[in-house]
Structure 1
Amino acid sequence: MGSPESKHLMKQLSETEPLWNAWQEWTKTNELLRETETLLNDPDPSMRSMASEEHADLQSQISDMVVNKFPSLVVPPSKTTHLSAIMELKAGVGGSESALFLSELLRMYIRLATLYRWKTNTIASNQTENGGIKDAIVEFVGERAYDTLRFESGVHRVQRVPATEANGRVHTSTVAAVVLPMPEDTGSETSDDLFTMDEIRIEVMRARGAGGQHVNKTESAVRLTHIPSGITVSMQDERSQHQNRRRAFQVLRARLMDRKLSQEVVERRDVRRNLVRSADRSEKIRTYNYAQDRVTDHRLGLSVKNLESILEGDSLQDLLDALAKKHQDDLLQEELEMT
């Protein structure tokens, strides 16, 4: 086992290796390009032809490095690549229609998880009588789950004719999504860099069902309050107080981790004195228009046909890739402005 200093040094060397390899490739390609340029005026026509083809290929390689490879190496690697995610969905404008749309969004994300080979687990789900869901909390466990899903935080808007609408009028409903990073030790009740137990107020009560009736006679429901921030988490979906307590700490940690990451982003932007307004979670991010079979992502300014393909998760991957690319470009711009 090496010392902490040697481990830190090895980590730094590992992080700089891709940049060094890219520089070596850049240098070698440029040398080959210069050698090829001398053959472009060779007396032998066949040699000139071969040199011309190789010259064009080398120029293409250099262009690709400038446009794609180097920018991605300049941006610091994500510190949250290893984190799984917790998604909170809550029905908004639209009543029962909003709850039905939430159930469809939840299915879309679970379908997406199978494509990425993530595990899913529903922590809480408040279903309605007509098959909708008022609110839900779901965990997505797997590599890059948080980095991929974090762009889904915001208000999702659906425009369609509800099944109960007799006059064929299009209704607009909304669902709010919040994606939180899930710390690896999600159920622990020990002090760490996110909170100390002295900052947590723990209350227990009887779990309640629909309409306010008691569903059991034991105090199994748990409410946690992080006193410094005022963040509150209530959990009653599990049968025992121990299980609800563990779930509540899991969600609390995720919310505090999200708060910490958000603060780090703001502090980083304050340093360069050019604070950029981040995407407000109350901001409309995407519209699903059934009548026009179209999905519009307002951050990308992009509309995509074939709404069903989005809801099945397949085309959603393309939108998420485009959002990740935009995020990468924004980070690169920040790095350039700091130099």
Structure 2
Amino acid sequence: MSTPEDIVRLKQLKESELLDEAWTHWKANREQLDETVALLEDPDPTMRSLAVEEIDSLSTNLAELVQTTIPALLVPPSKTSHLGALMELKSGVGGSEASLFLAELLRMYQRLANNSRWHASVVGKNDLENGGIKDAVVEFKGEGAYDSLRWESGVHRVQRVPATETSGRTHTSTVAIVVLPLIEETDSQQDELFNMEDVKLEVMRARGAGGQHVNKTESAVRLTHIPSGVTVSMQDERSQHQNRRRAFQVLRSRLMDLKLTREMEERRSTRRNLVKGADRSEKIRTYNFAQDRVTDHRIGLTMKNLTSVMEGDGIELFIDALKQDNAESAMEAMLEESD
């Protein structure tokens, strides 16, 4: 019977085999490229033409190995790849225009979830009469959901002429997004996040609309994690039990987020730009409708097809680029630590 140590060794052996295979493939392509370059001096024009085509193909293979395959094998596997994501969206400056943009972003992420085969559930939403949404909370469940969506945390800025603007003046509005790791009640990691004796539980009557039920029933719940000071209030559900369950879920997600952020800061204390890139108060992306472009300010990537981002699969290009940038940064950090 295999022990956990045996499983770890087998996994490490398999990873080293894949890396050795990729390196061997790179060397073979490199040798073939050197041999093919010599054919560019061949007196036969047909041979020279074939050599050019072969060089293009070999160069593409080498670039793929160096830029994607080998770095992916060298970077340690993500410890959060199995986690879903809990996304909170809140309209910021811009009033009704910000709420309309929030509704569009929500549809964009739901479309992304469908393309990625994740299950997206809106667990809280504050609709407005103008068709916009003041705030929303969405659960994304599926492999890789958190690792993909975590880079969406921050301020999303939209620049466009609102439908109600008669003078044609461009308005700037914002939506703030926070993405937390979704920790299920059955997740074994939750036991490491907090002790129940460190959590203060309070129940109270829910505020706001809701009729007699809200006025007479203590269904609202507030949790305070004393060591960290994290507070979660929940009154969206109809019963205290449901609010309590939802509040603990959000508490686990926020504490896991704090833990991951702390680990990132500890690992990369000398690379402050990475921590800054994850700052939720920072403007991370601008959606400019007049110029038909979307720009991610963290990596300097601009796409000149806004419709493909908002209504197609263009958002995936940004997410893939951010993942690649993170992998390259992790590689640089590993090399610096080995010096």
Q: 1:211 to 1:121 in 2, by over 3 A?
A: closer
Does structure 2 conserve the Cα–Cα contact (< 8 Å) formed by 1:85 and 1:139?
A: yes
CA distance in 1, matches of 2:163, 2:212: 31
Q: 1:286 to 1:15 in 2, by over 3 A?
A: same
Does structure 1 conserve the Cα–Cα contact (< 8 Å) formed by 2:190 and 2:252?
A: no
* Range with bigger deviation, 7-16 or 194-203: 7-16
CA distance in 2, matches of 1:100, 1:60: 43
CA distance in 2, matches of 1:128, 1:63: 50
Offset of residue 130 of structure 1:
2.3
CA distance in 1, matches of 2:224, 2:7: 38
CA distance in 1, matches of 2:190, 2:116: 33
Q: Cα deviation per residue 1:24-49 (whole Å; 9 max; x = unaligned)? A: 43455567678x58x979x9989x87
Report the counterpart of residue 108 of structure 2 in structure 1: 108
Report the counterpart of residue 309 of structure 1 in structure 2: 308
CA distance in 1, matches of 2:186, 2:251: 9
Does structure 1 conserve the Cα–Cα contact (< 8 Å) formed by 2:152 and 2:179?
A: yes
Report the counterpart of residue 207 of structure 2 in structure 1: 208
AA partner of residue 286 (structure 2): T
Does structure 2 conserve the Cα–Cα contact (< 8 Å) formed by 1:153 and 1:281?
A: yes
Report the counterpart of residue 337 of structure 1 in structure 2: 336
Q: 1:152 to 1:63 in 2, by over 3 A?
A: closer
AA partner of residue 256 (structure 1): L
- Please show how residues 7-86 of structure 1 align to structure 2 within 5 Å: 7-26=7-26, 29=29, 56=55, 61-86=61-86
Q: 1:324 to 1:173 in 2, by over 3 A?
A: same
* SS at structure 2 position matched to 1:162: coil
Q: Cα deviation per residue 1:101-126 (whole Å; 9 max; x = unaligned)? A: 21111111111111111101112112
Q: 1:302 to 1:26 in 2, by over 3 A?
A: closer
Report the counterpart of residue 291 of structure 1 in structure 2: 290
CA distance in 2, matches of 1:126, 1:191: 29
Does structure 2 conserve the Cα–Cα contact (< 8 Å) formed by 1:155 and 1:175?
A: yes
Give the one of 276, 279, 291 matched to 1:278: 276
State TM-score, norm by structure 1.
0.86
* SS at structure 1 position matched to 2:268: helix
CA distance in 1, matches of 2:128, 2:43: 80
State TM-score, norm by structure 2.
0.86
CA distance in 1, matches of 2:187, 2:142: 17
Does structure 2 conserve the Cα–Cα contact (< 8 Å) formed by 1:309 and 1:315?
A: yes
| Unmatched runs of 5 consecutive residues or more in structure 2 | none
* Range with bigger deviation, 145-154 or 313-322: 313-322
| Unmatched runs of 5 consecutive residues or more in structure 1 | none
- CA-atom RMSD, angstroms? 3.3
Q: 1:118 to 1:193 in 2, by over 3 A?
A: same
CA distance in 2, matches of 1:333, 1:156: 28
* SS at structure 2 position matched to 1:222: strand
Does structure 2 conserve the Cα–Cα contact (< 8 Å) formed by 1:112 and 1:312?
A: no
Q: Is the aligned partner of 1:157 residue 2:157?
A: yes
* Range with bigger deviation, 72-81 or 84-93: 72-81
* SS at structure 1 position matched to 2:191: coil
Does structure 1 conserve the Cα–Cα contact (< 8 Å) formed by 2:206 and 2:235?
A: yes
* SS at structure 2 position matched to 1:286: strand
Q: Cα deviation per residue 1:208-247 (whole Å; 9 max; x = unaligned)? A: 2349997352111111111111111111222221111111
* SS at structure 1 position matched to 2:89: strand
CA distance in 2, matches of 1:296, 1:40: 44
Q: 1:40 to 1:13 in 2, by over 3 A?
A: same
Identity across aligned pairs (percent)?
60
CA distance in 2, matches of 1:49, 1:245: 73
- Please show how residues 132-147 of structure 1 align to structure 2 within 5 Å: 132-147=132-147
Does structure 2 conserve the Cα–Cα contact (< 8 Å) formed by 1:206 and 1:214?
A: no
AA partner of residue 69 (structure 1): T
* SS at structure 2 position matched to 1:228: coil
* Range with bigger deviation, 241-250 or 159-168: 159-168
* Range with bigger deviation, 324-333 or 260-269: 324-333
Does structure 2 conserve the Cα–Cα contact (< 8 Å) formed by 1:201 and 1:225?
A: yes
Report the counterpart of residue 120 of structure 2 in structure 1: 120
Report the counterpart of residue 266 of structure 2 in structure 1: 267
